[in-house]
Structure formats: structure tokens, C-alpha cells
A and B are shown apart, each in its own frame.
Chain A
């Protein structure tokens, strides 16, 4: 005869198992929270991307930056070096996807901005991407207000970076906001060299540019001793820059330089913008 199956009523044992499981879940949750806290404290600038993507976000940032460059060249990948270019497949592919080497300009520049934006989201500590974004927004896209916001974001993510201040100063000068420009250049000089090595050309040139802008602004304010002091610092960095030496002598003699400060500032801004534009068009392997 079959014995009736005695159904187990959920008793104290079940409640104990439930409490134990609950306790384990709570412990794991606490552990995860503390780990997340560690990650945030290591690099709290990219909490979401940092936690989800880890170091791969740096590779993604580089890829997005390259995509921005490809878009700037109208879809043409200038970094391609091929062993042969005459196969039937390459000819068909080049007719299907032509390689016209162009440089986008004007309002079309806005098409490269999404990739630069994604690159900054992936790697907010790469100042170069912020500087490029601000340059294109301020010059080609004609949106200096947005360029200023980008540089503010760059400043928040990279405090005490002199390059951000140099770019802000240029932007303010272009906008004729002289007082803001002076503040930005002074801040740049105070922050120099930051995390950069002091013996590289780019770092020294960055300081020389800050000093030259500041000297010209002092000159425009008729503060010649301060201007001379800045120019002398440039000569310490680059003794071969004879034009700066001549300007020092002219100012020390109490004469007016042949190129007035306001005109020199305008020329320098234009020159810097042209150089930046040429840098974007300079292709790998080209001088």
C-alpha cells in the first residue's frame, strides 16, 4: 500500500535559507558598490565609459579620431599604403567607393564633429581632440560660443593644462574679449608645463606662443617693461628667433616697432589658424 506523501510545510529552515540568500546578495551588492567606488576614485571623469569599456575606450577614441580625419578628407583614407593598386577588384571597388581627396570646409565641417564628440566621450583626457573640436567650431563652423563650451569641458576634464588656456586665449582674442584673453594667457603661463616634458619643441613652443601673445597685449596696453620681460623669456627658450630680439631692442630704445602690437596680434592669430589648418591636411609621410 502506498504511503501518503507528507508535504513539507515551509518552516524555519526555509526562512533561514531565504535569510542566508538575502544576506549573500546584500554582501555581493556591497562588494560591487565598493569596487565601483574604487574605479570612480581612480578616474572619476569617465565613470560610465570607464566602467563599461575599460581601457578599450582609448582604442575606440583613437578610431573615432581617425574617422573624423577620414570625414575631413571626404571619406578618403590617406593613411592607406597598398602593395598593388591594379587588381580588378580594386578597380571595381574604387568605382563603387571613389577616393576623391577633398577637404571639407564651411558648414560641412559639422559632419566631423560627431566623431570628435564620441572621441572625447571615450577619452576625456586627450586634450588634442578638444583643441581640434574647438578649432573647427570656432573657425570653420562659425560657432565660437560652442568652441568656448568645449574648452570649458576640456578644462574641467584636464585641469591645469596650458594648451587649453592657450586655445581659450586665442578664441577670446578672435572675439575681441581682451580681458578674458589676458586672463587665459596668464593662466596658461601659470599652468605650463603641466604634465608635459619641458625639453620638447612643442612644449617650449607652446610657452613661447603664450609669452608672445601676452607680450603683445602688454605692448598694446603701453606696458613696455612687462612686454620686454616676456619677450626675453622667449629668447631664453629660442635664442635663434632674431625677430623677437629686434623687437626687444626697439622697445628698449623707446621706439615704436614697425609692426604694431594690435596688427601683430591679428597676424599671429591668422598664422596660428593657418598652421592648424595645414596640420589637419598634412598626411602621413608628407613633410
Chain B
């Protein structure tokens, strides 16, 4: 575990040096301030749209952050050659994968927490409030989505370069976010091969919609049942584990050659 935490720590140090998180934080703050300054027919007191768009942006930015950070970690280590001294130490490849995943996941979770803080401040400034229990549940489930995304990006990056891994992760997660939840709707209009293809996508890809509590938060519906939240969290753990297992299987016997060093 210590070795995993050490690798995660190096991920943290590298990401702090690069400035992706700060840029996204500034962007989120700016966009929310522009949103707040919108004149709504001279009517005040509306806050749900700020919550809605703020949470949407936090999902979007955390998605970008998770994919970009996770997909570049292993390919960068390989292309720099820093992976050789690292793997020469008594670190197993499973620990290496887990350390990278833990580092990228924890960074994106902390960044998401900061996004949530900015949204809370802006909503409070507009006179709105959040149900704290529901907000906590939403954040926990959001973190599990990020865990899946990070694990998937790392799995792809074990056998691909940075750009290819990022592109594939974006494609798969975009389908999971945008298409999979609407498959039952599309199925109402499709028949034959396209209907079968949709069902394959529906059953094969992760279902991110079960982690999305934005509607509950925006429309002040209060917290969900903790039993449901725990069940969904278990689903998140299972999917993350499957992707990490795939990453380890792809990486455990990988041979490195000097031609990889560019």
C-alpha cells in the first residue's frame, strides 16, 4: 500500500506542477459569474439554472480532467524513460497501475470538490441553497464516475500512446454519458440490426446515469435513500475494478524497447 501511495504522490506532484486544474477552476468561476450576471427580464431569485449549469460544467470539466490526466501518465513515463528506474525498484506492475489510478483519481476528486465549492459559493451569492445530504451523495457518486473514467483511461494507455488513449476514452465515456441513458428511448423507434446494436451498447458500457444526481439537487428533491447510493457505489467499484484488472492484464507482460523512447 505504501508503494501505491508513493506512486500516487508523484502523480500529485506532477499535476500540481502542470496547471490544468487551475485553468479549469478559473474557467468555471468566470462562466458562473457571467451566468449570474444574466438579466432575467429584471426578475431576481431564480437559482436553479445556476445550480443546473454549474453542476453540468463541473461534470464536464472533471470529465476532461480525468481523461487528460489519466491517459497521459503511463505513456509519458514510458516515453521519458522514467518507467525503467521505477519498475527496477521492488514495485509490481499491479502496484504501478493502482498507484497511477489512485493518484489521478484523487486529483480529479479534489478538483471536483473545488468545483463544487465554487458552485456552492455562487449559488449562495444568488440566494439559493443546497440540501447538504443530497450534495454529499451527489459528490460521492460523482467521484465513482471519475474512478471509472480514470481506470478506463489507464487501461487504454497501457497499450496506446497518450493521444490514442485519450481519444478512445473520450469516445467510450461520451457514449456512456450521452447515448446509453437514452437507449430505451431510441429503442422505441428502432428495429432489426440497429435495435440489437443499441442493446449491445446498453448492456456492455457503463451506465453513468445512475451516478448523476443533478436533477435531484437542482429541483430540491432531498437526499436519495442511502441503500440506493451504496448499491450504485458498489456498481462503480465493480466497474472500476474490471477496468483496472484489464489494465493490469494488458501491462503485466508488456515488454519495453528503446524504440518507445521518443
Contact = CB atoms under 8 A, between A and B. Distances in A.
Interface of A: 71, 74-75, 80-85, 87, 89-90, 92-93, 95-98, 100, 107, 110-111, 113-115, 117-118, 133, 137, 141, 143, 146, 149-150
15 contacts: A82-B188, A84-B184, A84-B187, A89-B207, A89-B209, A92-B210, A92-B235, A93-B212, A96-B232, A97-B214, A98-B216, A98-B221, A110-B40, A110-B45, A141-B43
Contacts of A133: 41
B81 interface: no
B48 A71 contact: yes
A149 B187 contact: no
A146 B47 CA distance: 19
Given A96-B210, A111-B49, A117-B38, 13 more contacts: A81-B188, A83-B188, A89-B207, A89-B210, A92-B235, A96-B216, A96-B229, A97-B215, A98-B221, A117-B39, A118-B38, A137-B43, A146-B41
Contacts of A81: 185, 188
A183 B215 CA distance: 45
B218 A93 contact: no
Contacts of B184: 82-85, 87, 90
Which A-B residue pairs are the 9 nearest by beta carbons? A83-B187, A82-B184, A114-B49, A97-B215, A75-B219, A83-B188, A92-B210, A89-B207, A95-B228
Interface of B: 38-43, 45-49, 141, 181, 184-185, 187-188, 202, 207, 209-216, 218-219, 221, 224-225, 228-229, 231-232, 235
A84 B184 CA distance: 6
B185 A95 contact: no
Contact of B46 (A85, A89, A92, A114): A114
A85 B187 CA distance: 11
A83 B189 CA distance: 8
Contacts of B47: 111
A146 B41 CA distance: 7
Contact of B209 (A71, A93, A141): A93
Nearest to B44: A110
B216 A146 contact: no
A137 B41 contact: yes
A217 to B, nearest CB: 28
Interface centre among B185, B212, B213 (most CB of A within 10 A): B185
B215 A75 contact: yes
A247 B43 CA distance: 42
Contacts of B213: 96-97
A89 B43 CA distance: 39
A48 B196 CA distance: 45
B221 A113 contact: no
A82 B187 contact: yes
B43 A149 contact: no
Contacts of B216: 96-98
Contacts of B235: 92
Given A95-B224, A110-B43, A114-B40, A74 B219 contact: yes
Nearest to A83: B187
B210 A111 contact: no
B212 A97 contact: yes
B125 to A, nearest CB: 16
A262 B93 CA distance: 86
A23 B209 CA distance: 56
A113 B39 CA distance: 10
Contact of A96 (B38, B39, B40, B141): B141
A152 to B, nearest CB: 11
A113 B43 contact: yes
Contacts of B214: 97
A133 B49 CA distance: 16
Contacts of A149: 41-42
Contacts of B215: 75, 97-98
Contacts of A92: 207, 210, 228, 231-232, 235
A117 B38 CA distance: 9
Most buried by B among A113, A137, A146: A113
Contacts of A107: 45
A245 to B, nearest CB: 42
Contacts of A97: 209, 212-216
Q: Which of A75, A84, A87 has the most CB of B within 10 A?
A: A75
A146 B224 contact: no
A254 B43 CA distance: 48
A100 B221 contact: yes
Nearest to A117: B40
Nearest to B138: A96
Nearest to B228: A95
Contact of B48 (A83, A84, A111): A111
Contacts of B228: 92, 95-96
A97 B214 CA distance: 8
B211 A96 contact: yes
B239 to A, nearest CB: 12
A95 B117 CA distance: 25
Looking at B49, B181, B228, which has the most chain A CB atoms within 10 Å of its CB?
Answer: B49
